[in-house]
Structure 1
Amino acid sequence: MSFQVGQTVGDYQVEGVLGRGGMGALYKVRNRISHRVDAMKVLLPSVRSSSTEITGRFEREIQVHASLRHPNIAELYTAFQLDDQLLMVMELVEGPTLESLLAHAPLPVELSIGIIAQVLSALGYAHRQGVIHRDVKPTNIVLTRGGAVKLIDFGIALAEFNPRMTQTGMVLGSLAYMAPEQLTGQQSDARSDLYSVGITLYQALTGKRAIDGANEYDMMNAHVHQVLVPPAQLNPAIGEELSATILKSLAKQPAQRFQTADEFRQALSPYLPTSSSAWPQLAVSHLETGVQERVATMLPVEKIPSSSRFHSAALAVLHRNLAQYVGPIAKHLVLKESREAPDLDVLCRAVSMHIANESDRAAFLNACRTEFGAETRTVEAARPAQTPATPTPVPTASWDTAWLDRLKKDLAVQIGPMARVIVDRAAKKARSPQDLLSALAAEISSPEERSRFQARHRAD
């Protein structure tokens, strides 16, 4: 059976259909108690009763998702059985896929590298947990409107590769992005995911798939034997060094590729969005064929400067506070709003509107009142949220709460909103300030940024 809009399913009410297929459906649902809007994936009873393979894959997806907690991986909230149906409720990730952005044209170098760096951060974490994604491709990479990149669909993660066709007629994994060893029946591992990332990056920068063919045999043969055209030949903006880095990720033999996601990300670090780079705002164009999302503008991301209205120190405070809720895009949002706001009071309120959750918005505005004092005297005091917020874990009493707060703000600049939860969890386990710093620094993928983070807070 399929669910209808308005129907109640356990503690959830169906608000819309996100997609349907031969094996199941994906719904937009609202929790009747918390009112949070989530996504619900349902395996059809007919499939569950007729295909142990597909049922097993769905159950593995639930188990894998349950073991992963990372800001760049869509989160699983719960899974349950309802009558003869198997359901999983997960984070609703709204935004364009990388595939939809590439339908129009290649992306700028800095934007492509910024997206792929977040994918590699997610994969590095997953690989350390023993999870191989096995289906990295542009349709499984989503750019949220808050500026984060989410890796989705762990439906075949951890599944042992079998080159035969499944009962639904689809090869496990998407052929254009699969590593040679997956196609030849050899043992695949984390380096197979990195090959798929390389293929994706190649396409993002050139607008063309590195591997293509008239049929499945041609594509499989190309993965195993074809010498690839250097991406710099297709897009001179790429440069020879970056081109060589991409080709290394696409080596036919796993031993000749990057060996870890962190190593790959480090090789891309010179091209990451930095103080002189850019990051996108996503806009929606309403076309006759529907809503298509594209990259509409590129905001400069320089070091936030002083202006006739605002000192750089005040803007830096807003940046740190906002990063706890929206991640690395915070700097760009603060810079954008600072161009229009007439005073600090208006700027705080304008920046707060980029925070989706009402209770988080209230906490942000309270922080503005505390840090800026009289200059934000007209900022409304935080009102109780209509929806009860998930309580934040209380740090261990022995820690200096002001120091923990500084750690959360600083770490949020590197990894996004999950910083608050990570700091609180680490504080419960750490036996000393050095233990805590080491645990938090391990969440930062860049060795340079990791060292700077530790140096800044040792002085505290």
Structure 2
Amino acid sequence: MSFQVGQVVGDYQVEGVLGRGGMGALYKVRNRISQRLDAMKVLLPSVRSSSADITSRFEREIRVHASLRHPNIAELYTAFQLDDQLLMVMELVEGPTLESLLAHAPLPVELSVGIVSQVLSALGYAHRQGVIHRDIKPTNIVLSRGGAVKLIDFGIALAEFNPRMTQTGMVLGSLAYMAPEQLTGLNADARADLYSVGITLYQAVTGRRAIEGANEYEMMNAHVHQQPIPPVQHNPAISQELSAAIVKSLAKNPAHRFQTAEDFRQALSGYMPTSSSAWPQLAASSSETGMHERVATMLPVEKLPSSSRFHSAALAVLNRNLAQYVGPIARHLVMKESRDAPNLDALCQAVASQIAKDSDRAAFLQACRAEFGAETRTVMAPIQTSAPTPPTPTAVTQASMDPAWIDRLKKDLAVQIGPMARVVVDRAAKKASGPNELLATVAAEISSPEERARFLARHRTH
């Protein structure tokens, strides 16, 4: 069951829903005694009854979170059971996530460093308590209305008092921000968190991720093997020294990174916001909307290339407005449509068709009309959108192969190359004409000729 607004749950009254997923829900609640507004995280009964692992992880999150007290970590207040539900009550952090701020454009360098410095302060403390977060990413970094950065979601944190949490070959975390040693199944320590912080800082100052890939396999492979482009090459406002510090945090070998959060934070100290910079301006915002607006005024005008029809400044404004509704893909959409649109009116209409909600689309078109005036005089005309054509089913070659054999292949390959074996086999199976071609393709991922030969011998079908 889910709670309804106004419902009383123990000593708390539900004020609203903050988020909901397949495993649980997060509510805004009011303590009926103290009248304080808190956040309540609930694990759904169906999940508790069907997955002992998820239940154990939630209980572990409660114990780990309860051991931490730091101004940059959202505080856990209490946890309790009510009937067949497990609930956790924590500090309510009202404000945007770093991810939502980055949907518009890269942040100013000083602002980015100020945010990450507070994250490193929280991590330095957690690491000294023997806790590794293991899921540092922009969605888990929240900027509170008071200006303090709060690190949230210790759901997959690893504590020294429970070092056996992760099974061999098991990957937990968010792929785009995970350290190479996490992906290859090696024992990851606190330096894996620092890698994730580096990926996050890189994205904050450049507007793009240091490691990218068209699919899971490519991204995993890039984390392990690909050297990121120094961020200064994407953003000249970044100094060579800061760029080098970010690159150091992204070293493939943990021994070549900063060894502690304090070391990383010290390397960033020269780029921290001053009292007259953007940081206190941001902290002064009294609401999430106000914070977004203040961040927007701090952002430099993004320099999109001009075309024969449109000036770069017009494209930048269009990109910024569209990003509020579709996120970072706005830049790609604007540039793509600008190649064929005959005028600014048509361009606004074209990119507006990518906004799903009618109300949001109308608000975007209204903003276009306000920004560009007479050039978009027909921009408020209704947009006719057709339903997307369903993809044509394609043959799946692995259907003709023995699923048990493919499963054995994945498990055996994982011993050689780590958890990415699953992705490697699935990807190759879609292209292989048969078992022998699949076997040869995945065996090529094994670097040792001797191990490769043994692997082939074990799995040949004839």
TM (norm. structure 1) is: 0.61
- Residue 141 of structure 2 is matched in structure 1 by 141
Pairs within 5 Å for 1:120-159 = 120-158=120-158
Pairs within 5 Å for 1:187-206 = 187-206=187-206
- Maintained 8 Å contact 1:283/1:294: no
Aligned-pair Cα RMSD in Å: 2.1
Inter-partner Cα distance in structure 2 for 1:129 and 1:114: 23
Structure 1 residues 43 and 102, CA gap change in structure 2 (3 angstroms): same
Inter-partner Cα distance in structure 2 for 1:11 and 1:175: 38
Structure 1 residues 246 and 286, CA gap change in structure 2 (3 angstroms): closer
SS for the counterpart of 1:96 is: coil
- Residue 109 of structure 1 is matched in structure 2 by 109
Structure 1 residues 163 and 274, CA gap change in structure 2 (3 angstroms): farther
Runs (5+) with no aligned partner, structure 1: 166-170, 300-460
Counterpart of 1:52 in structure 2: which amino acid?
A
Query: Displacement, 1:277?
Result: 3.5
SS for the counterpart of 1:119 is: helix
Query: Displacement, 1:278?
Result: 3.1
Could you report, residue by residue, the CA deviation over 1:335-378 in whole angstroms, capped at 9, with x for unpaired residues?
xxxxxxxxxxxxxxxxxxxxxxxxxxxxxxxxxxxxxxxxxxxx
Counterpart of 2:208 in structure 1: which amino acid?
K
Pairs within 5 Å for 1:159-170 = 160-162=165-167
Counterpart of 1:201 in structure 2: which amino acid?
L
Query: Displacement, 1:77?
Result: 0.2
Structure 1 residues 285 and 252, CA gap change in structure 2 (3 angstroms): closer
- Residue 62 of structure 2 is matched in structure 1 by 62
SS for the counterpart of 1:236 is: coil
- Maintained 8 Å contact 1:101/1:293: no
SS for the counterpart of 1:19 is: strand
Inter-partner Cα distance in structure 2 for 1:242 and 1:285: 29
Inter-partner Cα distance in structure 2 for 1:2 and 1:276: 46
Structure 1 residues 223 and 40, CA gap change in structure 2 (3 angstroms): same
- Maintained 8 Å contact 1:98/1:139: yes
- Maintained 8 Å contact 2:145/2:287: no
Inter-partner Cα distance in structure 1 for 2:116 and 2:293: 19
Query: Displacement, 1:295?
Result: 1.0
- Residue 450 of structure 2 is matched in structure 1 by none
Structure 1 residues 180 and 285, CA gap change in structure 2 (3 angstroms): closer
Inter-partner Cα distance in structure 2 for 1:218 and 1:163: 22
- Residue 239 of structure 2 is matched in structure 1 by 239
- Maintained 8 Å contact 1:162/1:172: no
- Residue 216 of structure 1 is matched in structure 2 by 216
Pairs within 5 Å for 1:250-261 = 250-261=250-261
Pairs within 5 Å for 1:34-433 = 34-158=34-158, 160-162=165-167, 172-275=172-275, 277-279=277-279, 280-281=281-282, 282=285, 295-297=295-297
Could you report, residue by residue, the CA deviation over 1:237-266 in whole angstroms, capped at 9, with x for unpaired residues?
001111000000000000000000000000
Could you report, residue by residue, the CA deviation over 1:244-297 in whole angstroms, capped at 9, with x for unpaired residues?
00000000000000000000000000001124533142476979xxx9666145
- Residue 399 of structure 1 is matched in structure 2 by none
- Maintained 8 Å contact 1:161/1:182: no
Could you report, residue by residue, the CA deviation over 1:371-419 in whole angstroms, capped at 9, with x for unpaired residues?
xxxxxxxxxxxxxxxxxxxxxxxxxxxxxxxxxxxxxxxxxxxxxxxxx
Structure 1 residues 42 and 198, CA gap change in structure 2 (3 angstroms): same
Counterpart of 2:113 in structure 1: which amino acid?
I
Structure 1 residues 267 and 134, CA gap change in structure 2 (3 angstroms): same
- Maintained 8 Å contact 1:224/1:252: yes
- Maintained 8 Å contact 2:93/2:142: yes
- Residue 21 of structure 1 is matched in structure 2 by 21
Query: Displacement, 1:39?
Result: 0.3
Query: Displacement, 1:55?
Result: 0.4
Larger Cα-atom Rg? 2
Counterpart of 1:101 in structure 2: which amino acid?
L
SS for the counterpart of 1:238 is: coil
Inter-partner Cα distance in structure 1 for 2:298 and 2:224: 38
SS for the counterpart of 1:237 is: coil
- Maintained 8 Å contact 1:111/1:273: yes
Counterpart of 1:68 in structure 2: which amino acid?
L
Inter-partner Cα distance in structure 2 for 1:6 and 1:81: 20
SS for the counterpart of 1:210 is: coil
Inter-partner Cα distance in structure 2 for 1:297 and 1:4: 38
SS for the counterpart of 1:146 is: coil
* Larger fraction in strand: 1
- Maintained 8 Å contact 2:95/2:288: no
Counterpart of 1:156 in structure 2: which amino acid?
I
- Alignment length (residue pairs): 291
TM (norm. structure 2) is: 0.61
- Maintained 8 Å contact 2:19/2:26: yes
SS for the counterpart of 2:25 is: strand
Could you report, residue by residue, the CA deviation over 1:423-449 in whole angstroms, capped at 9, with x for unpaired residues?
xxxxxxxxxxxxxxxxxxxxxxxxxxx
- Maintained 8 Å contact 1:118/1:149: yes
Inter-partner Cα distance in structure 2 for 1:100 and 1:14: 25
- Maintained 8 Å contact 1:162/1:185: no
Inter-partner Cα distance in structure 2 for 1:298 and 1:230: 24
